[in-house]
Amino acid sequence: MSTVSFHEIPYKRPDISGLTSTYATLSQRLESSQSADEAIAVVRDWNSERISVGTMGSLAEVHFTQNVADVSAKAEKLFYDEHGPSIAELDNAFSLMLLSSPFRDAIALTFGELFLTRLKNASLTFEPSIKDLLVRESELCREYNELTASAHIEVDGVTYNLSTIGKLVIDLDRGLRQRSISAMYNFLTIHAEQLDKIYDDLVKLRHEKAQRLGFPTYTEFRYVEFGRVDYNAEDVERFRAQVREHVVPLVNKLRTAQTHRLGLEKLTIADEKLQFPDGNPVASGDHDWIVERAHRMYSELSGETKEFFQLMLDSDLLDLKSRDNKATGGYCTSFSTHGLPFIFANFNKTTHDIEVLTHEAGHAFQAYRSRNHIVPEYYWPTAEACEIHSMGMEFLTWPWMNLFFEDQTDKFRFYHLQGALLFLPYGCAVDHFQHWIYANPDATPQARNAQWREMEKTYMPWRDTSGYPAVEEGRTWQFQRHIYESPFYYIDYALAQTCALQYWKWAEHDRPAAFSSYLKICDVGGSQAFLDIVKTGGLTSPFATGCLKDIVDYAYTWLGEHYSSELKGA
């Protein structure tokens, strides 16, 4: 186990000239290899070089998101944004040589055929002609991040950012909720021109990138880039259709029940996040209190999680407090040279504090378990499999939720399980929206907003947008960072949620077996494709006929059996 603390990890900006020379030497060695053993040794050295460069890139990203106003951190972020495509060019050239090597079969036998498939897909989605577009894409995403991270939203004379305002939108005072939602969405109105311009540029740029590489649309490009080797856009549409048919009607009932619980005549967007008339469940203590109880939870969950979380604490690998100029949201990354994961989040004294901690800990635990794989492509699986680890961890920690919520624990379990069902339509709306966006790259900002309103009407028919101009215009999607930064990622959450709900059900009947399966898929890392990982874990594919209906029906029935009063009127 590493004893290096996060703050002790040395950062060194890669020397592009030196890196180019190193890659030239690696290429020469591979080309002159006289045996499989020699070629394999070169590939190992190449992987070591990539791991080192990747670790520095992760450090630069973390330092920047910790404080987007830090001049030196921004300079390093800029360096990677500007030179990342040149590094990718070096990797691509070496990959092409490796793929055509006379020792390809031996390399596949050593590192796995999936390793070569990943390299081939990477070569299909990169060539030097798009380097300028990649640099500009990074610039635009950074501009979006800086804009949202620097938000100052005033409510009743107090200033909040996009993270800390979260506690106001679940306040019991409906007037305060309405003022907070109004102020929050007014941010979108004030910055509408800038947000529209950033996204319009991103869409057109991504379409051009795909066109330059011979893809008919960015959608096809992105599916290859995301490594979706065992399903396609048609499979995803069939999944979305199942959500529209089976989940939307159930969620509509949940929203009706919520309206009755809150004693309202009509549920508005200002009420959506408040689930209970006496308030949503909130952890009883502050940051340090939560982390202390998380330590106990992971110490008791298993020997493996005990070791993992102790490392996170000892090496200062948790940044959870919200502060000014800190990027919004939460994520997990890793410093692979040291085998260390890192968790970034923004606690805001809502239920989400515990959900984001367990969610990102699921990612981090998988990264820790996968740290010894022999190629960097295997440190992480593709995104939809990654999200099984995170969402699965949220449910596998249920027995310890009393540590955080005490007498509100039952309320939390209802909130969390219902939240899984509530999410599915939204996740599919985001995905469906993006498929439309990139099928219509020349659409105007107004047309995009109108299309988002159609998505809300289709997947969230209960949503009342009246009284909030930005919401009425169809701008709520502009707070969804993934749409700007990581197109087509969001369906991965919905696919993974279907699998995570299977872990929840399994753990209800046989917790040791469920955790054993979970541990197995964490250890697999990225050495298998998504549906193979699902199979390895003994789970049912979310694309299988009846899978989604079965699990959401079971969850809805369970909620009714255990919390019938909360579903009164549904």
Residue type, 267: L
Please give, one letter per residue, the 3-state secondary structure of 293-353.
Answer: HHHHHHHHHCHHHHHHHHHHHHCCCEEEECCCCCCCCCEEEEEHHHCEEEEEEEECCCCHH
pLDDT of residue 73: 96
Per-block average pLDDT, block size 10, for the chain (570 residues)? 84 96 98 98 98 97 95 96 94 97 97 96 94 95 92 94 92 97 96 98 98 97 95 97 96 96 95 95 93 98 98 97 90 96 94 95 98 95 96 98 96 96 98 98 98 98 93 96 95 97 97 98 97 98 96 95 77
∠ CA 83-484-527, nearest 5°, is: 70
- Tokens 């979260």 locate to 166
- The single residue listed with the structure tokens 């040794």 is 41
pLDDT for residue 568:
66
**What's the confidence (pLDDT) of residue 177?**
97
d(CA 16, CA 88): 11
Q: Which residues contact 437 (CB under 8 A, 6 or more apart)?
A: 203, 443, 448, 451
269 three-class SS: coil
pTM flag (> 0.85): yes
Alpha carbon dihedral 364, 369, 374, 379, in 10-degree steps, equals -30
What span, in angstroms and rounded, lies between the C-alpha atoms of 117 and 527? 11
pLDDT reported for residue 290:
97
pLDDT at 570: 55
Torsion of CA 484, 485, 487, 492, to 10 degrees: -120
Helix 71-99 vs helix 131-149: angle between axes, to the nearest 10 degrees?
150
Predicted pLDDT of residue 569:
56
Q: Identify the DSSP state of 11.
A: P
Instruction: Give whole-number Cα distances, 145 to 76, 141, 323, 472, 567, in Å.
Output: 15, 6, 15, 24, 39
DSSP for 116-154 reads HHHHHHHHHT--GGGHHHHHHHHHHHHHHHHHHHT--EE
Question: Hey, where are the domains in the chain?
Answer: 6-137
What is the reported pLDDT for 564? 84
